[in-house]
């Protein structure tokens, strides 16, 4: 019975996605309004890009990035220092039985986006994209 406790599908469930988005919005509001009384944290303008939640909704991993991308480690350290207070504010904004434990990671989405742009700007890739499709390739 315990082995079937969590779905083994290819991705997160609809509930995980919904709770993650609610946590993201609540955390963004708390950080935007500077409700946490820490000058080190309030000095940073932090973007919450995504929140992924564990299947049991007990752990939420928040992917954050300070505006401009500079001093990301200091922002993560400030968030980690104040995660109890942040958890309290997020729990007040939600109607879950348990407030999830918040974990903070640097959001690397923008770095991957830059790498993708660089790849698409490559001369060889541009040549392949501009080449007409060969109908014989579909027959194989």
pLDDT in tens, 109-132: 877 777 888 888 888 878 887 877
User: 10 Å Cβ neighbour count for 71?
Assistant: 13
Residues with Cβ < 8 Å from 82, sequence gap 6 or more?
Answer: 36, 38, 41
pTM recorded for the entire structure: 0.74
The 10s digit of each residue's pLDDT in 21-30 is 999 999 999 9
β-strands 59-66, 101-106 pairing: parallel
Q: CA 94 → CA 7, 63, 68, 113, 120, distances in Å?
A: 24, 19, 30, 32, 41
Range scoring the smallest mean pLDDT among 25-29, 41-45, 77-81, 124-128: 124-128
First to last CA, the chain: 46
- Strand runs labelled E in the chain: 46-53, 59-66, 101-106
- Whether residue 1 is predicted with pLDDT greater than 60 in this model: the reply is no
What order do you get walking across the sheet with 101-106 strand by strand? 46-53, 59-66, 101-106
Using DSSP, how many helices (H) and how many strands (E) does the chain show?
Answer: 7, 3
């Amino acid at each position: 019975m315990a082995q079937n406790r969590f779905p083994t599908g290819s991705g997160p469930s609809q509930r995980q996605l919904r709770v993650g988005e609610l946590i993201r919005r609540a955390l963004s509001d708390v950080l935007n309004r500077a409700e946490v009384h820490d000058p080190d944290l309030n000095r940073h303008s932090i973007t919450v890009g995504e929140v992924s939640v564990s299947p049991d909704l007990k752990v939420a991993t928040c992917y954050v990035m300070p505006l401009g991308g500079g001093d990301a480690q200091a922002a993560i350290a400030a968030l980690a220092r104040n995660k109890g207070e942040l958890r309290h504010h997020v729990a007040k904004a939600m109607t879950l039985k348990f407030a999830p434990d918040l974990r903070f990671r640097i959001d690397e989405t923008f770095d991957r986006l830059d790498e993708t742009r660089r790849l698409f700007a490559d001369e060889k890739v541009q040549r392949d994209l501009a080449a007409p499709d060969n109908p014989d390739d579909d027959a194989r």
